[in-house]
């Protein structure tokens, strides 16, 4: 159907993420085809930066992409933690190479968050990650955004259940609202498996800050570059478009 966009979701994670939340945010308008990135059929989901880097190798990514149907409109690299593990420059190169190899637009979660923050002229951010990220990925997340010129006021692991299926939106709203620094201009909720999109609107209403959530910002980036689809109730990000940005020299 001409009014439905088909997204090929590439992810190294076993838990539901972008595939579930895209359908929630744009029901009937976005269809997903899912391919899980693995180096072998027996490999467990990655839990370390080194494991994520291994799954970002071109051969491994291409093998996962090859299982997607040829009718997809865009590829989505749905892994915040992979961006953190390999860094912004390598993530950008991965996206470019994948797009050239398969001749489709490609979007990645962490790159999309950077674009969204720059579009809104944000400089000071608070990062919130799920508990399963652990200290290493939490620290790499802060380094990732600082490397792009943002003032990361804090980077915290949310005190919510260590199981994405047990996390309710109200838990995320309460924890973030209570721990949000007064210095932060925006909140970035990392982790495509966190599935916190339903907390975004209430958090923005309660805090007055821009809130970016991994799957929300990834979908925003996809729609901005492919097809205009209205999304309501998931934050003010969907009312904006990517704009050129000149970084501050402060």
Would you call 133 exposed, middle or buried from its count of C-beta atoms within 10 A (0-12, 13-18, 19+)? buried
Q: How large is the average pLDDT for residues 156-175?
A: 95
pLDDT for the residue numbered 249 = 35
CATH number of 5-111+215-239: 3.40.50.12500
Residue 15's pLDDT band, with cuts at 50, 70 and 90, is confident
Query: Is the pLDDT confidence value at 110 over 90?
Result: yes
Q: How large is the average pLDDT for residues 161-180?
A: 95
Which residues 6+ apart lie within 8 Å of 174 measured at CB? none
Q: Cβ(140)–Cβ(168) under 8 Å?
A: no
Distance CA 170, CA 135 (A): 24
Query: Is the pLDDT confidence value at 168 over 90?
Result: yes
Check for a shared fold between 5-111+215-239 and 113-214.
yes
Distance CA 206, CA 190 (A): 20
pLDDT for the residue numbered 227 = 73
- Cα–Cα distances (Å) from 14 to 11, 35, 44, 85, 164, in that order, read 8, 10, 8, 18, 11
| 159 phi/psi in degrees, rounded to 5 | -85, 75
CATH of the structural domain 113-214, one choice from 3.60.15.10, 3.40.50.1860, 3.40.47.10, 3.50.50.60: 3.40.50.1860
C-alpha dihedral sign at 59, 64, 69, 72: negative
Query: Is the pLDDT confidence value at 245 over 50?
Result: no
Closest CA to 102 of 143, 152, 68: 68
The ranges assigned to domains in the chain are: 5-111+215-239, 113-214
pTM for the model: 0.92
pLDDT for the residue numbered 39 = 73
Q: Is 62 helix (H, G, I), strand (E, B) or coil?
A: helix
- 180-222: per-residue pLDDT in tens? 999 999 999 999 999 999 999 999 999 999 999 999 999 999 9
C-alpha dihedral sign at 219, 159, 56, 36: negative
Chain-centre distance for alpha carbon 156: 17
Which residues 6+ apart lie within 8 Å of 212 measured at CB? 113, 116, 117, 186, 187, 188, 189, 235, 237
Q: How large is the average pLDDT for residues 15-39?
A: 90
pLDDT for the residue numbered 248 = 40
pLDDT for the residue numbered 224 = 85
């Amino acid at each position: 159907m001409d009014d439905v966009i088909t997204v090929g979701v590439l992810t190294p994670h076993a838990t539901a993420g972008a595939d579930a939340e895209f359908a929630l945010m744009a029901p009937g308008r976005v269809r997903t085809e899912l391919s899980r990135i693995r180096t072998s059929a027996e490999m467990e989901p990655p839990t370390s930066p080194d494991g994520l880097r291994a799954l970002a190798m071109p051969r491994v990514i291409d093998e996962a992409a090859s299982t997607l149907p040829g009718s997809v409109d865009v590829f989505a690299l749905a892994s915040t933690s992979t961006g953190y593990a390999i860094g912004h420059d390598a993530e950008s190169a991965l996206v470019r190479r994948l797009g050239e190899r398969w001749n489709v637009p490609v979007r990645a979660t962490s790159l999309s968050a950077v674009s969204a923050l720059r579009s809104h002229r944000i400089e000071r951010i608070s990062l919130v990650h799920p508990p399963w990220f652990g200290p290493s990925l939490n620290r790499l997340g802060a380094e990732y955004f600082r490397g792009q010129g943002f003032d990361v006021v804090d980077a915290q692991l949310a005190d919510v259940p260590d199981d994405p299926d047990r996390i309710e939106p109200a838990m995320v709203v309460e924890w973030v609202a209570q721990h949000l620094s007064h210095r932060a201009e925006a909140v970035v909720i990392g982790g495509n498996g966190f599935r916190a999109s339903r907390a975004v609107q209430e958090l923005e209403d309660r805090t007055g800050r821009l809130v970016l959530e991994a799957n929300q910002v990834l979908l925003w980036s996809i729609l901005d570059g492919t097809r205009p689809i209205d999304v309501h109730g998931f934050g003010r990000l969907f009312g904006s478009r990517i704009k050129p940005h000149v970084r501050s020299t402060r």
